Amino acid sequence: MTQIFSLAGKVALVTGAGQGAGAGIAALFARQGAAIIVNDVVGERAEAQAQAIRDAGGKAVAQAFDVTDLEAVRRGIAAGESALGGPVDILVNNAGNGGAEGPLRMLPFADLPPEAWQATLAVNIYGAMNCLHVVLKPMVTRGWGRIITIASTAGTQGINGGMAHYGAGKGGSIALTRHIALENARFGITANSVALGLIRQDDSELFNKLARSLPVGRRGTPEDVAALCLYIASEEAGWFTGQTVELNGGAFTT
């Protein structure tokens, strides 16, 4: 009996996979048979996750590069493909950057310094574009590909709380993905976005309170994200493209 949602024989690149949702996606894809290029801007994180996949019996190689650097993206993907013996079939654009940290976090846009929004736009939009630019033409040539953009509800909903720059970055990545979907649908390539709600991060009382207020009563986990992404990446999802799926524990419905 054929395994449903098998990724056997596929090579997947997951950016920002050294931790969080990216690590969960990489681990599940590997269990379903994919060979994984584990990317992270921090080499130690990438290698740790790749080793964890190998320890579990999967196939993975770590490639540390900054997705905002097109030449570094080209080199990293080429090295990963060479190590795994095949081209990227599945791209998960998961790398992200909230842009503002520490005392700048959650400030109204009028109070943000330009470097805060420049950083988040660079990763969320240009980072996704760079990876797409490298893998798309080979996918077209082979007649098969899966592109998944990990976005945020901040990119689909207005939020009163200092997230305008982050929402712009994630909203831009969603729009990019929709256009890529339509341009490449006839080549057997799908492209979809997953807009994440409150995913497990820290254990602050604010986040815990927000989680308890959700209809499901808890925050999402990397495994929740990975399960949805597995379907989107599968052969079975070939008619599913150009969509943005809200994964938010029932915070709102569409």
Q: Which letter, b or e, does each residue of 210-242 get, where b requires 16 or more Cβ atoms within 10 Å of its Cβ?
A: ebeebeeeebbebebbbebbbebbbeeeeeebe
Q: 230: which 2 tokens?
A: 């597995």
Q: Which residue has the tokens 């492209």?
A: 191
DSSP state of 101: -
* Beta-bridge partners for 37: 13, 61
Which member of 29, 65, 117, 166 is catalytic? 166
Q: 28: which 2 tokens?
A: 């599940």
- In angstroms, rounded to a whole number, what is the distance separating the alpha carbons of residues 103 and 113? 12
Q: Is 166 a catalytic residue?
A: yes
- Which residues does the annotation mark as catalytic? 166
